[in-house]
Structure 1
């Protein structure tokens, strides 16, 4: 352990401005490591935010991690399915030993979460080299990043022909798109996402999470709503997070009865076009599943001309017995779903 570094686990022990400046000044700084995202976790149902920072002898931040312990259920099940997810962290300065940092994190969270996942937004293979020695396992996971710094014609021409036709068709069939940093009622957007997730057989976070993220990120215009309307009615949307020179695909949903309008295709194009016009350089498409496994979402995202990246995740199991039980329950759940 580096004795010159002091570790803190309470965000009030760090000046908020210094925290923001550390994230914004880090080459891999991202929206998920900001004070605003920590605050959003703090006021969301079923979320317990996690904060770890290491400070040098002068009190400057040298490393930082923001995540959250999350469980869809309360009661007895909560202890079985609680896990900590860290998007885009930790952020470490040169010279900070990754092994020491994640070991401090492990010691802090191991009684709160059955397992943890470091979801990489960049290639962190050098920064996190060696953390396998303290229990982490690298898991392959894909994503698409779309270059927004090209000309708009280049972005358009990189989209598959079929998608381009569908986008044109959507406009011809009467779709209009509104782009805004503020909305009147998050419940309208949540309802569409909830229905989309139900149809896909996926769980969705409580509405308080959406409300809290909106309330905390909208102040500095770090959240955008791309809303598709047909005859004055909201039929689909994409919620986008913005930070630095990047846009992040966050949540999306559409009305399945209106899919002849190609809502999703039109909305993705509107995001790419807006990002290009407003000086953003990268659109992070928000994940494309595991290689070798069929995933319809990946098939959709592939058609928009992005670069396939494999930054992966790091997984660590803190409570092996509970994790084994959880995997068994998930296997039974999947089997029951297939038999229906």
Structure 2
């Protein structure tokens, strides 16, 4: 048995390990995680992976590690120790077991990881499992709880079957958009990246979105520069970019990652057309599944228009590794005015959308 810790200092080795997994989503990719960390929620965070290996199997667990020194309140009773907590990659994450990893391997991994967290002063752990990998089933000991449904489209179906599984209102909206002069196409033009980023940023401001939805242009550019990790498709109308869809993908699964459009063109059903053409582009390039993910009720209603039958189940898990420090942090947060009774985890952090 061996345990290894991978960070950006060992990115090439980390990438080789990730590539050896038969199935691990793009959100588990160290390239994606290293780009996400450091601006996802705070500056002092970094991507890390804990890997437990036996003779013929291993468990791969990537996550983002966040210092607790930047909490927006004073904590007087933790003895000057540098504590941290961890959160899964966004949108999905959680540990992934290799082929051949049995229940004993999983149990041993969990014990070793819990010991590691206590040694490293990692107070708590928030896990977002991957509904496409269904890794919550392998790690039942983490007590996963159902959070929401996701919408997905099987791209191995015929075009007619994909179309027929759209809700009628969505088919009508797509037809309406196709009758306009809107053109949706993938792009590698930096000017298109910037134009889409402007539209996306305006949308996040209008929605007063959480910090981890607000990305700088440099993040878009860096992610799109990685080979076969992301694709941007933009919608053009009379030569102007009026919206787009940012899709993160591996060879098999594509994710509806970030999307926005100019509200002046919503009546033309530009959003429906953007999603449809992005989905078709992923099918043309050989992906087998398009994951629209989930969302709040209004967002989910729109997404389910692209599949009446395709659903996944998104699960989360919450772990406290150092109980007394966790309780101290929650008390300090409560005293400073943080709503620690909302159900958000960890309770000492200011609530954001998960």
Q: Mind listing any 5+ residue stretches in structure 1 that lack a counterpart?
A: 290-294, 333-340
In structure 2, runs of 5+ residues without a counterpart are 76-82, 345-354
1:111-139 deviation line (CA, Å, top 9, x unaligned): 4565412332332244113233xxxx424
Which of 24, 34, 37 aligns to 1:29? It is: 24
Which residue does the alignment assign to 1:255? 262
How many residues align? The count is 315
d(CA) in 1 for partners of 2:53 and 2:219? 29
Which SS does the other structure have where 2:94 is aligned? coil
Shift of 1:173: 2.7
Displacement after TM superposition at 1:298 (Å): 0.9
Equivalent residues of 1:222, 1:242 under 8 A apart: yes
Cα distance, 1:221 vs. partner?
A: 2.3
Of 84, 87, 111 in structure 2, the residue corresponding to residue 84 of structure 1 is: 87
Seen in structure 2, the aligned counterparts of structure 1 residues 54 and 182 have a Cα distance that, compared at 3 Å, is farther
Q: Which residue is equivalent to 2:204? A: 197
- Preserved contact between residue 130 and residue 136 of structure 2 (Cα < 8 Å): no
Give the whole-Å Cα distance in 2 for the aligned partners of 1:101 and 1:209: 36
Kindly indicate whether the alpha-carbon contact (under 8 Å) linking 2:228 and 2:250 is maintained by their aligned counterparts in 1. no
CA distance in structure 1 between the aligned counterparts of 2:239 and 2:4, rounded to whole angstroms: 51
Contact 2:174 2:272 in 1 (8 A): yes
Partner of 2:305: 303
Does residue 38 (structure 1) correspond to residue 33 (structure 2)? The answer is yes
Normalised by the length of structure 2, the TM-score is 0.76
Aligned twin of 1:238: 245
Question: Structure 1 length as normaliser, TM-score?
Answer: 0.78
2:135 aligned counterpart, secondary structure: coil
Following superposition, the deviation at residue 266 of structure 1 comes to 0.3
Q: Which residue of 2 aligns with 1:283?
A: 290
Using the alignment, how far apart are the partners of 2:10 and 2:85 within structure 1?
A: 27
Equivalent in the alignment of 2:51: 53
User: How far apart in 2 are the matches of 1:149 and 1:92?
Assistant: 26
Change (3 A) 1:316 1:194: farther
1:218 aligns with 2:220: no
CA offsets 1:207-234 (integer angstroms, 9 cap, x no match):
6666346425533121100111222222
Q: Does 1:63 align with 2:59?
A: yes
Corresponding residue SS for 1:177:
strand
**1:99 aligned to 2:107?**
yes
Aligned partners of 1:64, 1:317: CA distance in 2, in Å? 20
